[in-house]
Amino acid sequence: MNPKPIKVMDVLRDRELQLGPRFDDANPYKNFKLTRDSDGIAWLLFDRADASANTLSADVLEEFDGILAQLEIQRPAGLVVRSAKPSGFIAGADINMFKGAADPRAIETMIARGHGVIDRLEALRIPTVAVIHGFCLGGGLEVALACKMRIAIDNARFGFPEVMLGLHPGLGGTVRFTELVSPLEAMPMMLTGRTIDARKARSLGLVDTVTQERHVEAAVRDAIFGKLKRAKRSPRVAILNAGPVRGLLASRMRTEAAKAAAKENYPAPYALIDLWEKHRGDRAAMLKAEIASFATLMVTPTAQNLIRVFFLREQMKALAGKDNKVERVHVIGAGAMGGDIAAWCARQGLHVTLADMKAEPIGGAIKRAAELFGKILRKKIDVRDALDRLMPDLTGEGVRNADLIIEAVPEKLDLKQKVYAGLEPRMKPGAILATNTSSIPLQELRTTLASPQRLVGLHFFNPVSRLQLVEVVSHDGVDPQILAAAQAFVGAIDRLPLPVKSSPGFLVNRALTPYMLEAMVMLDEKVDKTVIDAAAEKFGLPMGPIELADQVGLDICLAVGDMLRSKLDPSLPPAPEWLKQKVAKGELGRKTGKGFYVWKDGKAEKMPKPGGVTPPQAEMIDRLVLPMSNVCVACLREGIVDNADVVDGAMIFGTGYAPFRGGPLNYARTRGVNNVVTTLRSLATKFGPRFNPDAGWSNFS
């Protein structure tokens, strides 16, 4: 959960009532507020102009440098650095600076200037204290590390998310963090981007004390005047940073990094390990090398595509708007999807009732919810409160008070329409009726409704707690206000809405179906399933099509494939008879414990093939991934979606499509549209018309 914001400006105003002389009553700074209290302590508040969060841009750092130069001369009793923003301390660098970067020398120059500012802060010959609330990330944490002491408000969170952008820390963090905190803790944080809370930061020695807002001034005075009991650096830090030990640890880190991502796809973790291992104890050399390494990474396709993905997420967040009016949700169907949708809504603070024809599925859904809450919520009281918001509802009484009803019953038109007939008369005026259908056009679902204008599609993806996308499906009779309210709801539960027009498979399932069906064809060709999955994983997809089919459910894959073939594309290969037999036997994949793989504890058991796995060929990868790009172009041409960038975002956030490639359309653009079209034609000649390039390629660039 996001830390609760504090009213920092109120605190500042309260403080100013008792301030003594100030450095400048007029406050000449654009992005800062500088004051001095009666004890001679300077309070420097980051308050970036025209932004809800503090980020480090070139002009912010330049102004910061000027203030530090002033403080070097005036020498106050001490310096307190904190934020005036309720959202937190500093969220990191302004990523706009790096968008489209192509010249590593220009990046080196820019980062070197930033290093100079942070070094200047570190070198101040007065006590310096960072007071941290909310998020303290990336460059913000590097600012805090340059201060001599750190005080955390109990809602603070710390981390280095640069790896998510294909980078590593670039303002001295690789050096200062591993000097202060054990490399066994510091390096994994930088390598994975995970964050920690204030208590964990205190236990690691990252912060000296954790306090509440009302005690900040007392803690600051203790720090400035030498009364604060400082965190002691563990002797293990020096031992683990020693040369011989670094080599051993670095080797282990590379092994762990390789399990998560290949070096050719995600070079940043490996560059960070190399940086830390090579410069053993030579601080100045490592700081200099950090600049060069950061600049080299910045201009790689991986970093530029991941930066693009960052902005795609922001673009899709904006589609939601902010006017959410849904407070009570009723979910019908407590299966894998319905139960997990209900749990996620409850976790996000909504009151949820969960209905099913039998008690057993509801009980299973509540159990899964408790397990989920236990993993993602830090406090037991938060787990309890979330479970209290999730109410079993065998009689379906929750319909009457719900602002939104989500139907998540099996993919059968007559069953869904039967459900609607029972609940529509009990819905309150203005309530939204949403279906989680993955493929059935809303034009068919709405035919029996008295008020079809309030029907929308809200298509979540499995697993709900991890995949951020929700397709918001419209039809030609939907009320625009209902549609806008549905998109606002998606944003309110921390998900990314993708507006799509109703058509078979919408966008994501339509794009995934040829991917998985082609894998079935390859199985018919006697290609081993592990080779097929390895081909997709080599391209950078999070899992292969065989494992994905098991994850989704073979019954659902079969139904969606049949539907798309009959309604949209007869050139799609028919489902093999042996797949139908597996479904008939109840071997449906993960949900039954057996499909193509045997599943235990939610993971597929992949037995190594005797003699090893044959490396996948380039043609196999093209057969799997190029049809996805082809379908995305078709959906653009047909007006199912209207924005190529959002299509890429949808495929990344809804399927895990290799983020470092920037999405299926960006991949096609990077590879070259002519190359993609030529390859598709060649595949069509060899394997059949399902590979024919869509007409939309002629207008795509």
SS3 227: coil
Based on the number of CB atoms within 10 Å of its own CB, is 122 exposed (0-12), middle (13-18) or buried (19 or more)? middle
| 459 noted as active-site residue | yes
pTM (predicted TM-score): 0.90
Q: For all residues of the chain together, what is the average pLDDT?
A: 91
Options 3.40.190.10, 3.40.50.720, 3.40.50.2300, 1.20.1050.10; CATH of 324-502: 3.40.50.720
pLDDT in tens, 646-661: 999 999 999 999 999 9
Greatest CA separation for the chain:
85
Nearest to 34 by CA among 72, 75, 67, 74: 67
pLDDT in tens, 55-67: 999 999 999 999 9
Check if the beta carbon of residue 157 is closer than 8 Å to that of residue 134. yes
Read off the DSSP letter of residue 93: B
pLDDT of 10 > 80? The answer is no
Q: Report the alpha-carbon angle 413-346-464, nearest 5.
A: 55
| C-beta neighbour count of 518 within 10 angstroms | 24
**What is the pLDDT at residue 138?**
97
pLDDT of 284 > 70? The answer is yes
Distances (CA, A) of 266 to 165, 175, 262, 300, 301: 10, 21, 6, 10, 10
**What is the pLDDT at residue 613?**
63
Instruction: Report which of residues 120 and 505 the model is more confident about.
Output: 120
SS3 480: helix
Contacts 24+ apart (CB under 8 A), 65-69: 65/116, 65/117, 65/120, 67/29, 67/32, 67/34, 68/117, 68/120, 68/121, 68/124, 69/120
pLDDT in tens, 464-520: 999 999 999 999 999 999 999 999 999 999 999 999 999 988 999 999 989 999 999
Locate the DSSP E strands across 550-673.
598-600, 603-605
Distance CA 599, CA 591 (A): 9
**What is the pLDDT at residue 19?**
31
Sheet holding 149-153, edge to edge: 32-36, 41-46, 78-83, 128-132, 149-153, 209-211
157 residue type, one letter: R
Nearest to 469 by CA among 502, 435, 499: 499
pLDDT of 608 > 90? The answer is no
Range with lowest mean pLDDT among 29-33, 275-279, 477-481, 599-603? 599-603
Check if the beta carbon of residue 60 is closer than 8 Å to that of residue 48. yes
pLDDT confidence tier of residue 368, bands split at 50, 70 and 90? very high
Of 115, 279, 459, 475, which one is the catalytic site residue?
459
- Kindly give, in sequence order, each residue whose CB lies less than 8 Å from that of residue 215, ignoring residues fewer than 6 positions away: none
SS3 106: helix
Length of the chain: 701
Domain(s) labelled CATH 3.40.50.720 in the chain stretch across: 324-502
Domain(s) labelled CATH 1.10.1040.50 in the chain stretch across: 509-699
SS3 78: strand
> Topology of domain 8-299, per CATH?
2-enoyl-CoA Hydratase; Chain A, domain 1 (3.90.226)
pLDDT of 6 > 90? The answer is no
**Rg of the chain's alpha carbons, rounded to an integer?**
28
Distance CA 690, CA 683 (A): 9
Check if the beta carbon of residue 185 is closer than 8 Å to that of residue 177. no
**What is the pLDDT at residue 612?**
62
Read off the DSSP letter of residue 607: P
pLDDT in tens, 236-263: 888 888 878 888 999 999 999 998 889 9
Domain(s) labelled CATH 3.90.226.10 in the chain stretch across: 8-299
**What is the pLDDT at residue 556?**
84
DSSP characters over 374-418: HHH-SSHHHHHHHHHTEEE-TT-GGGGG-SEEEE---S-HHHHHH
For the domain 509-699, what is the CATH code? 1.10.1040.50
Distances (CA, A) of 210 to 214, 227, 310, 460: 12, 15, 32, 39
Nearest to 664 by CA among 700, 629, 618: 629
